[in-house]
Amino acid sequence: MVRFDGQVVLITGAGRGLGLAYARCVARLGATVLLQDNGANSAGHGTDPQVAEQAAEQLRLEGLDARAVLVDIGSREGCHALVRSVLMTNGRLDALIHNAGWVAYNNIDAIEESAFDHMMAVAAKAPLWLAQAAWPAMKTAGYGRIVMTTSCRALFPQYVQSGLASYAAAKLAVVGIMNVLTAEGQQDGIIVNVVSPVAKTRMWGVEGEPDELRPSDVAPGVAYLASSQCAEGGWILRAANGQFHATKALEAEGVDYPRDLRAVGASTADEVAANWVLIAVPSIEPRS
């Protein structure tokens, strides 16, 4: 059974929407949940400490073990301070779920470096710095679960939207981070995965409980990834409407990278052009 009895789980962006749904689900399974949320608006700006406090109080009224942790994660120092605070207060950190983020639209001719850096700071850098801070304690314990967040808006060309170049860059960066940390944590019992969730939250302009694509329908998959029952890392868990599909990029059989790609040979640009229909073959995954 998936249980978290005696475990401490830290969830970022946990004051509303998906993060709050994750916190409720994990807490119902026995965890002590620590809710981080700086209360930023839907554009990622501003702060409101009451967001995390009120969410934690709401969970406590439901009989769950929940506390707010009011530390900003917009910098490496903040991420390390957050994990330090958790470890000092609780003595352990069994699972980390990085959910914090937002969606910001800027077409290519309007992207400012400051906006790009702001997106990367929380969506891509924060999960790396949080993992870095949690790593020593998890390594010592011989156990840890880390769940990061990506998006199908970045993973699949058919789902991209104009104006999301910065968002897509950050979300794809998370996949690369996950792949490397999966390898680094393998010998120490630290398992790292990512979730690509879809839910109607304030990012969609939806307040209250939606009639479909509910955050609570994503939460069971995230709870599994954060649990001891999850024994394999390196997966992207797509989660929407109570359905789950895990995927990862896998090399073709027989490839001796990088010397033999078992691919089409060409020695000139013209040969590449002439063979392009054989080089670029779309492969659509069969799905039952």
User: Which residues have C-beta within 8 Å of that of residue 208, sequence separation ≥ 6?
Assistant: none
Tokens 């019992």 belong to which residue? 189
Q: In what order do the strands lie in the sheet with 236-240?
A: 66-69, 32-36, 8-12, 95-98, 144-149, 190-198, 236-240, 243-247
Q: What are phi and psi of 279, to 5 degrees?
A: -80, -45
**Residue 101 CB coordination number (10 Å):** 25
| Active-site residue identified among 22, 143, 159, 167 | 167
CA–CA distance, 196 with 202 (Å, rounded to integer): 17
Q: Tokens in use for 108? A: 């290519």
| 224 belongs to the catalytic site | no
Q: Which residue has the tokens 């989660």?
A: 239
DSSP codes joined into one string, 241-279: TTEEEEE---PPTT-BTTTB-S----SSHHHHHHTHHHH
How far apart are the C-alpha atoms of 154 and 250, rounded to whole Å? 18
Q: Which of 75, 78, 225, 218 has its CA nearest to residue 144?
A: 225
Catalytic residue positions?
167
